[in-house]
Structure 1
Amino acid sequence: MLQNRITRLFGIRHPIVQGGMRWVARAPLVAAVGNAGGIGFLSAHTQPSADDLRREIDHVRALSDQPFGVNLTVLPNASGFDYDGYVKAICESGVRFVETAGSNPAKYIGLFKEAGVSVIHKCVAVRHALKAQSLGADAVSIDGFECAGHPGEEDIPGLILIPAAAAKLDIPILASGGFADGRGLIAALALGAEGVNMGTRFMLTQESPAHPAIKQHLLAASERDTLLVGRSLGDSSRVLRNKVSSAAVDLEKTTGASHEQLQNLTGAAQWMKAFETGELEGGAFPVGMVVGLINDVPSCAELIDGIMRQAREILTSRLPSLIDG
């Protein structure tokens, strides 16, 4: 086992975190990650209401007695989400860990801390991480340019962003964006992180609710098969390259598309439905560049066991063999 501040914070065996992916991060996946020795995060705004979130929290507990958390992504341009209700449900349900993301978490961190909830804030810039630390976050997840979904607008890859953050932060760091195996875990630790936060890799597991046709399609993708939509609006999102996302990029280049026009093509409603139906051209699926490193659909237990086995082999055999005694 690799033990450090992240494993001690969460009370887990392995420094591996399943990120709170919208639509994908549901109870069966979260419970399976916890049972395998990592920690999973439910997606709060996947649930239609605060009461639905309470039921999903109860569902995790029915499947596992291991630690888990809830992701609270506060979308600055979205309406219809009962964020205050989600926060109340999290605190009253006795959830011990929250991953905040999106907008500034200042409004909620105090409430979580009062309820004894540890807060991990996901961010895409060192300055945002420092702000989260000053607000009382217990850890940060640093999302590099390689990540699925929103990488920010500064295009800083994890190879630079992780050590830059580690040099300035006192709280522990999770490396996010571009991680799928034991090689990535060891690299993240070497760069100054104390664990990895993985989304795309956990999307391609047996317990993930994504349609089998989508999973098989992603297995065939390479590291070149993602693109950024929304860049012209300062709201970049990394998604799978397909007819829908390519059309969105063309629209941005030729006409200067509005937010509403892009939403009609790449909005969450479309890709969430496609995740469920298996329609390969049904939306712009959030996927990280790391999809090009994934070639199987294991169970969460098989995945985490494999990551840790590979990490141990690197630490005990490959790296020591490079040292000239």
Structure 2
Amino acid sequence: MNKITQLFNIKYPIIQGGMIWNSGYKLASAVSNAGGLGLIGAGSMYPDVLREHIQKCKKATDKPFGVNVPMLYPNIEEIIQIIIEEGVKIVFTSAGNPKTWTSHLKQHGITVVHVVSSSKFALKAQEAGVDAVVAEGFEAGGHNGREETTTLTLIPMVRENISIPLIAAGGIATGRGMLAAMILGADGVQMGSRFAASVESSAHDDFKKTIITVKEGDTQLTLKELAPVRLIKNKFYHDLEQLYAKCPTPEDLKTLLGRARAKRGMFEGDLTEGELEIGQIAGLIHEIKPVSVIIEDTIAEFNVASREMQQVLF
């Protein structure tokens, strides 16, 4: 039996990324109803908004779902308390030390998964007692690891170092990508960009339409001095490039970045001045589809590719 489907009690080993401004209860419940594991992205929600989304998700699905929690969140104690009070059974933590909250969450019967970008941090997460890790490669959208290790090399290196279940992320949006990740040693996959361009994503329609126009080379990792983030090359990105030409200080970068620029881009649809976070794999995403179709297509392609591999090998 697959370790990920067993761990989360789901049909398919497909997890939806808990992406800020994209991952409300509609997306999370749709993924869970389609047989994957949906995640509410707490990183873009005030505590009361998160509680509302959890409550709505419980009404929208009777299947397992979880919450993604960036641990650098300013209201982290309140967020954790709400998750416990609302009876959420699965939490994905990221952007912080897994030792901080793992034991506390597990004491309340919560399954904990931590997102990492290196074997070193995967080991630390395992030592902290998490139930599984997500190893996310450099191709991923949004905030990224500083090591710039690609998924193709990261997954087998993490697999070599840990014994707990492993979920691959970064550059996966198809059944063939899913099969490749699992051949490399992953037990399941997490897809972000593919679900950002879904009917149920809470992102602005103009951002979704932009995702499906992205081609190879249209995204770039930047802002490494603050927190590395992969962005679509729009006006804001080019403004950053011009600032970098002047050897800016981190304070200069913070001043240009300002506040709520990701919300402005992805949630409010400002394609010019907004921060548009998406993975390199967007070049393979050509259509905005319902979540049920995305998962159906992914599994069908996975099965076809599996059969093809059998013929190639034997």
TM-score bracket relative to the smaller structure? over 0.9
- Among 15, 18, 21, which residue is 1:17 paired with? 15
Aligned counterparts of 2:188 and 2:49: Cα–Cα separation in 1: 30
Per-residue deviation, residues 146-201 of structure 1 (Å, max 9, x unmatched): 11122222111011000000011000111000000100110011000011111111
Aligned counterparts of 1:267 and 1:188: Cα–Cα separation in 2: 37
Q: Report whether the alignment pairs 1:322 with 2:294.
A: no
Quote how far apart the aligned CAs of 1:234 are: 5.8
Indicate the residue corresponding to 1:217 in structure 2.
210
- Among 174, 193, 204, which residue is 2:167 paired with? 174
Amino acid at match of 2:284: L
Quote how far apart the aligned CAs of 1:52 are: 2.6
- Among 228, 232, 241, which residue is 1:236 paired with? 228
**Contact 1:271–1:282 (CA under 8 A) maintained in structure 2:** no
The answer for unaligned runs of 5 or more in structure 1 is: none
**Contact 1:226–1:288 (CA under 8 A) maintained in structure 2:** yes
Alpha-carbon distance change, 156 to 276 in structure 1, aligned in 2, over 3 angstroms:
closer
Q: For the aligned residues, what is the CA RMSD?
A: 1.5
- Among 49, 53, 60, which residue is 1:52 paired with? 49
Per-residue deviation, residues 71-100 of structure 1 (Å, max 9, x unmatched): 11022xx6xx21001111111211110000
- Among 235, 242, 250, which residue is 1:250 paired with? 242
Quote how far apart the aligned CAs of 1:260 are: 3.9
Aligned counterparts of 2:32 and 2:284: Cα–Cα separation in 1: 23
Quote how far apart the aligned CAs of 1:209 are: 1.6
- With structure 2 as the length reference, what TM-score do the two structures score? 0.96
Aligned counterparts of 2:155 and 2:186: Cα–Cα separation in 1: 7
Question: Residue 287 of structure 2: SS of its match in structure 1?
Answer: coil
Per-residue deviation, residues 127-161 of structure 1 (Å, max 9, x unmatched): 00100000100000001011112222211101100
Quote how far apart the aligned CAs of 1:268 are: 6.0
Aligned counterparts of 2:312 and 2:118: Cα–Cα separation in 1: 34
Alpha-carbon distance change, 168 to 300 in structure 1, aligned in 2, over 3 angstroms:
same
**Contact 2:20–2:44 (CA under 8 A) maintained in structure 1:** yes
Aligned counterparts of 1:283 and 1:200: Cα–Cα separation in 2: 17
**Contact 1:221–1:292 (CA under 8 A) maintained in structure 2:** yes
Aligned counterparts of 2:258 and 2:232: Cα–Cα separation in 1: 13
**Contact 2:21–2:44 (CA under 8 A) maintained in structure 1:** yes
Aligned counterparts of 2:275 and 2:206: Cα–Cα separation in 1: 15
Indicate the residue corresponding to 1:202 in structure 2.
195
Output aligned runs, 1:102-141, within 5 Å.
102-141=95-134
Question: Residue 209 of structure 1: SS of its match in structure 2?
Answer: coil
Indicate the residue corresponding to 2:267 in structure 1.
276
**Contact 1:153–1:234 (CA under 8 A) maintained in structure 2:** no
Which of structure 1's runs of 4+ aligned residues deviate more than 4 A?
none
How many residue pairs are counted as aligned between the two chains? 314
Aligned counterparts of 1:280 and 1:136: Cα–Cα separation in 2: 41
Amino acid at match of 2:261: Q
Aligned counterparts of 1:215 and 1:92: Cα–Cα separation in 2: 33
- With structure 1 as the length reference, what TM-score do the two structures score? 0.93
Alpha-carbon distance change, 106 to 267 in structure 1, aligned in 2, over 3 angstroms:
farther
User: Between the two proteins, what is the percent identity of the paired residues?
Assistant: 35
Indicate the residue corresponding to 2:276 in structure 1.
285
Amino acid at match of 1:54: R
Q: Report whether the alignment pairs 1:313 with 2:310.
A: no
Indicate the residue corresponding to 1:36 in structure 2.
34
Aligned counterparts of 1:27 and 1:136: Cα–Cα separation in 2: 28
**Contact 1:31–1:63 (CA under 8 A) maintained in structure 2:** yes
Q: Report whether the alignment pairs 1:71 with 2:63.
A: no
Alpha-carbon distance change, 207 to 264 in structure 1, aligned in 2, over 3 angstroms:
farther
Q: Report whether the alignment pairs 1:100 with 2:90.
A: no
Aligned counterparts of 1:29 and 1:111: Cα–Cα separation in 2: 27
Question: Residue 260 of structure 2: SS of its match in structure 1?
Answer: helix
The answer for unaligned runs of 5 or more in structure 2 is: none
Per-residue deviation, residues 219-240 of structure 1 (Å, max 9, x unmatched): 1111211112212x16321111
Quote how far apart the aligned CAs of 1:270 are: 1.6
